[in-house]
């Protein structure tokens, strides 16, 4: 399965980058870098779920036990990853607030180097995941209600969100280094956490709709 192979390759890149960012985040005392690293950890978990979901979908494709098909496996994987994403967002906010009141010295040059590496890895992952493929599945013709692959959508948005978070971390470190805006680092961490939580809520809603077989086209239909 093409999507499964793409996700497996991205998992390897994500895990390697996650380990580097968390390690150097502790060494350099950068909350933005730590936030990006832990956020990437949630992506690694989500991508792992996505890969497992594709594996079982393929394994039970012709199984008579799944009377409605195996799509619900992918929806369940997307729903589960969104819950963990929301929890990580809360943890990032809590840690960032603590750093606001207890700032630590940051090794900006080393931290920025790792963030740049993370940006490159995230960009490569986006290319591997293939935006056009995702766009064609998530934004189909308005009158053709084709089921969205929530598993692939979840994996793709995890990577896209991490790319945006890495960009924020880079600029937080940049301004802190050259303009002395030390508090910008934890502030970026708080904003990043809020964005993560908001995104997680959106994914929870979309996957819940699919899992519960809710037909939104009948929402305003009179009895």
Q: Using one digit for the tens of pLDDT, what is the confidence trace for 95-127?
A: 889 888 887 777 777 778 777 887 888 888 888
Q: Which of 4-8, 61-65, 132-136 has the highest mean pLDDT?
A: 4-8
Q: Which domains does the chain have, with CATH numbers?
A: 2-139+148-214 (1.20.1510.10)
Q: Helices 71-101 and 184-211 sit at what angle, rounded to 10 degrees? A: 160
Separation of alpha carbons 175 and 26, rounded Å: 20
Position with higher pLDDT, 63 vs 168: 168
Tell me the CA end-to-end span of the chain in Å, nearest whole number: 43
- Taking 50 as the threshold, does the pLDDT of residue 209 lie above it? yes
pLDDT the model gives residue 144:
38
pLDDT the model gives residue 61:
74
pLDDT the model gives residue 126:
85
What mean pLDDT value characterizes the chain? Answer: 76
- Taking 80 as the threshold, does the pLDDT of residue 33 lie above it? no
When pLDDT is cut at 50, 70 and 90, the band that residue 216 belongs to is low
- Taking 50 as the threshold, does the pLDDT of residue 62 lie above it? yes
Separation of alpha carbons 42 and 127, rounded Å: 20
pLDDT the model gives residue 202:
85
Can you read off the two tokens belonging to residue 118?
A: 């993370």
Separation of alpha carbons 40 and 166, rounded Å: 9
Separation of alpha carbons 55 and 46, rounded Å: 14
- Taking 70 as the threshold, does the pLDDT of residue 1 lie above it? no
pLDDT the model gives residue 219:
56
Separation of alpha carbons 163 and 36, rounded Å: 9
- Cα 76 versus chain centre, distance: 16
φ, ψ for residue 97 (rounded to 5)? Answer: -65, -40
């Amino acid at each position: 399965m093409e999507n499964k192979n793409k996700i497996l390759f991205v998992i390897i890149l994500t895990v390697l980058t996650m380990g580097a960012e968390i390690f150097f985040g502790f060494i350099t005392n950068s909350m933005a870098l730590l936030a990006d690293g832990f956020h990437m950890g949630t992506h690694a978990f989500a991508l792992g779920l996505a890969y497992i979901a594709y594996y079982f979908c393929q394994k039970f494709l012709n199984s008579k036990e799944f009377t409605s098909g195996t799509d619900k496996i992918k929806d369940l994987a997307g729903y589960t990853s969104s819950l963990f994403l929301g929890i990580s967002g809360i943890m990032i906010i809590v840690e960032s607030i603590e750093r606001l009141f207890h700032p630590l010295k940051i090794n900006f040059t080393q931290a920025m180097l790792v963030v740049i590496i993370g940006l490159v890895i995230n960009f490569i992952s986006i290319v591997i995941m293939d935006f056009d493929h995702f766009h064609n599945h998530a934004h189909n013709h308005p009158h053709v209600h084709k089921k969205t692959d929530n598993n692939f959508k979840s994996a793709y948005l995890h990577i896209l969100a991490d790319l945006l978070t890495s960009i924020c971390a880079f600029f937080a470190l940049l301004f802190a280094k050259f303009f002395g805006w030390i508090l910008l680092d934890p502030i970026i961490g708080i904003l990043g956490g809020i964005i993560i939580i908001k995104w997680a809520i959106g994914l929870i809603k979309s996957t819940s709709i699919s899992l519960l077989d809710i037909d939104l086209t009948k929402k305003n239909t009179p009895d």
